[in-house]
Amino acid sequence: MNQNVGWLVVGLLVGSCALSQAEVGTSKETYSTAEGCGVEREVRMEWWREARFGMFVHWGLYSIPAGEWNGRKWKNGGVEWIQKKANIPAEEYEKTLVPQFEPKPGFAEEWAETAKLAGCRYLVFTSKHHEGFSMHDSKVTTFDAKDACGRDIFKEVVDATHAEGLKFGAYHSVIDWHHPQAYAGFGLPTIKGVTNEGRDNSVYVDYLHRQVEEIMSGYGPIDIVWWDFSKPDCQGESWRAEELIAMVRKYQPQILMNDRLFATKHGFMSKKESPLKGWNPNRGDFTTPEQHIPDTGAEGVDWETCMTMNTTWGYNQHDHKWKTSEKLIRNLVNVVSKGGNYLLNIGPMADGTIPQESIERMKVIGQWMDVNGEAIYGTTASRFKKPQWGRYTSKSDRFYAHVFQWPEDREIVVDAQNLEVSRAYLLADKEQDLQINQTPQGLVIHVPKNAPDKIASVIAIECKIAD
């Protein structure tokens, strides 16, 4: 993952796919990840928009040092970048860590079960991070999990994910700190002292394409490819993106892709910048604000906030800044209320064990989703103004009030007019109708004295929204 944080927008992709060259930014090419961005894309996006919640997994050789190298400790931040943080030469990095790569039996099942327990509908796994270590059985390198431990780790994760009925996504970094011909410089994160002088980058790009082809052709259905990442001086044609996208679609016609084959601003822009400026759906099916939830929504972009549970993506034994279960659940609600998906990360330990702190939080999220999941899955951003007491999500025949602050006067006011409401009830008690009144201030819903859930109680409001 990139260490910067940023912002993106909200909503379902309902706008035109045709943007002028001035609108799409610095690259000269126009690419279609959707072969037309029309009805076919809408069909492919359907499950993703229904899912709303996924689990990210960052795991690699960087999980072994766990935030510490030669006695120096990193308490916070992206320790999946430890090779760069500690300026470790590729040869030393490989020689030190590969012999220690020993995944425990059954780790993949543990991951998939945890995702399912939490109510996730998909899992995205790091097939290769910036360190260059490949988790799949690659025929073009020995710097991979199969050569390190004798097991096809990628296949284990794919199979376990599918066994739980979840969609599977492959995160794949297009930069590589191990390959001797990979791009170095050009604004990309680079190990200190390494330059691009004398490198034949085309050799690396061929290697990149062959590895992606191995993944796309050898492991059954892959539902997402989550590219990472580009910079203005190294993007698009640098990766032969048009060819790469076409090859991926050849093997996986229904796959979804993010837009990080290009130097899109959206994951890293400030809160106040325009979310639609420069965004082009021909460059990806969705875009990925990182460690940030947009303040407001805008129609025209499919987006997914990816976020850590503490401050780092990979496992860090020294990072104890865990977000509370309350924070994580409310983040999920906040993201979905604005039309986005929430991709919540876990960073397993060296042997694949999920930290207990992550398991505990996923269990709490799962318990909340067991009761309130219908207010998350398949919902869209609400047309109603964000209330001070919580958030709204919507479906065609109802909307949901997610109440964070339970009212002492036992009245929830929905600031909306012209509602033909047939019924309101708590998802925690569907048999008991709540009293509702139309007032000049809006719809007033009378609720019990005590909140069913201290984190977020959800009221379903069945209605016809008048024109």
pLDDT digits (tens, 9 = 90+) for 286-307: 989 899 888 875 567 899 999 9
In sequence order, what are the residues at sequence separation of 6 or more whose Cβ sits closer than 8 angstroms to the Cβ of residue 266?
A: 6, 7, 8, 9, 259, 275, 279, 287, 288, 289, 301, 303
Residue 214: predicted pLDDT: 98
Residue 5: predicted pLDDT: 32
State whether the Cα torsion 258-263-264-268 is positive or negative: positive
Low-confidence stretches of the chain (pLDDT beneath 50): 2-36, 268-272, 274, 467
Distance separating alpha carbons of residues 320 and 26, to the nearest angstrom: 40
Residue 419: predicted pLDDT: 82
Q: Where are the beta strands (DSSP E) in 113-200?
A: 122-128, 167-173
Structural domains of the chain, with CATH: 21-375 (3.20.20.80), 382-465 (2.60.40.1180)
Instruction: Provide the H-helix boundaries in 6-106.
Output: 21-24, 39-51, 82-85, 90-97
Residue 299: predicted pLDDT: 65
Residue 466: predicted pLDDT: 52
End-to-end CA, the chain: 44
Amino acid at 283: R
User: For 86-90, which contacts have Cβ atoms below 8 Å and span 24 or more sequence positions?
Assistant: 87/191, 87/192, 87/193, 88/191, 89/191, 90/132, 90/177, 90/178, 90/180, 90/191
Residue 58: predicted pLDDT: 98
Residue 464: predicted pLDDT: 73
Residue 266: predicted pLDDT: 53
Go through 153-168 and write b for each residue having 16 or more CB atoms within 10 A of its CB, e for each that does not. bbbbbbbbbbebebbb
Residue 1: predicted pLDDT: 59
